[in-house]
Structure 1
Amino acid sequence: MNDLPSVEITVSGPCVVAKVRGVMDYVSKLELRGRLMAAIDRAERAVVLDLTDVSFFDSAGLNTLLGARREAERAAVALVLACVPHKLHRILEMTGADQFLRVFDTVADAEAVLSS
């Protein structure tokens, strides 16, 4: 797997929505980390990671998400996941990462909770 991820950032009220596409793995982790940090830097209150179009995810991708959550916490920004593909959701459950990464079914659900 060698297609680098893309992250499309949009601002929706107090939330920054970062739509991640492609592969989240060892090869892409530095690129992805930089893009997630840019989203966190732009956020006032919250970052919603829309993972609808993530095509592959491994332990390096998981570590990148957990690292981004720590950075967001340091910046007093909530970081949550939305539209998590079934395989990725299963990995989050199996590793216990779902205890640290809040998951919403849709971006709209996340925005509604985080905007209130």
Structure 2
Amino acid sequence: MNNNQIQIIQPGGILDAATSQKLQSQIIGLVNNGTKIVLVDFQNVTFMDSSGLGYLVLAFKYLREVDSKLLMCSVNEQIRILFELTGMDKVFTVFSNQEEFNQSPLFHS
């Protein structure tokens, strides 16, 4: 897969209703412009609430419908627990960091 089909987004701070809606729009915009894989790197995110998770789920569903992938990496403890409590850890593909993603078959497909 060539590199313009993979895009990495690095949000920062708190992902709540306002900031997550912008993130969702950014993800969908990338896919509508030909991106096949969007990796959201949570390294600089300090907190995500349920509305943030909701927008990620909506983006995930949209990408699945258009045969693209939404992947994540570098989630902190709070986000990991939120994913586990909601069962989204079974739905989302989460890598430890960008390096792990870069070594995965998804990056080289």
Alignment TM-score, normalising by the size of structure 1:
0.79
Aligned to 1:83: 74
Q: Aligned-residue CA RMSD in angstroms?
A: 1.9
Aligned to 1:5: none
Change (3 A) 1:60 1:53: same
| DSSP-derived class of the 1:84 partner | coil
Q: Any stretches of 5+ residues in structure 1 without a counterpart?
A: 1-10
Aligned to 1:115: 107
Task: Flag as ranges the 4+ runs of structure 1 deviating above 4 A.
Answer: none
Aligned to 2:51: 60
Change (3 A) 1:43 1:90: farther
Q: Any stretches of 5+ residues in structure 2 without a counterpart?
A: none
Alignment TM-score, normalising by the size of structure 2:
0.84
Structure 1 or 2: more strand by fraction = 1
Q: What amino acid sits opposite 1:37 in the alignment?
A: I
Q: What amino acid sits opposite 1:53 in the alignment?
A: N
Instruction: Give the whole-Å Cα distance in 1 for the aligned partners of 2:34 and 2:87.
Output: 26
Q: How many residues get paired?
A: 106
| DSSP-derived class of the 1:22 partner | strand
Instruction: Give the whole-Å Cα distance in 1 for the aligned partners of 2:15 and 2:97.
Output: 20
Aligned to 1:31: 22
Query: How many percent of aligned residue pairs carry the same amino acid?
Result: 21
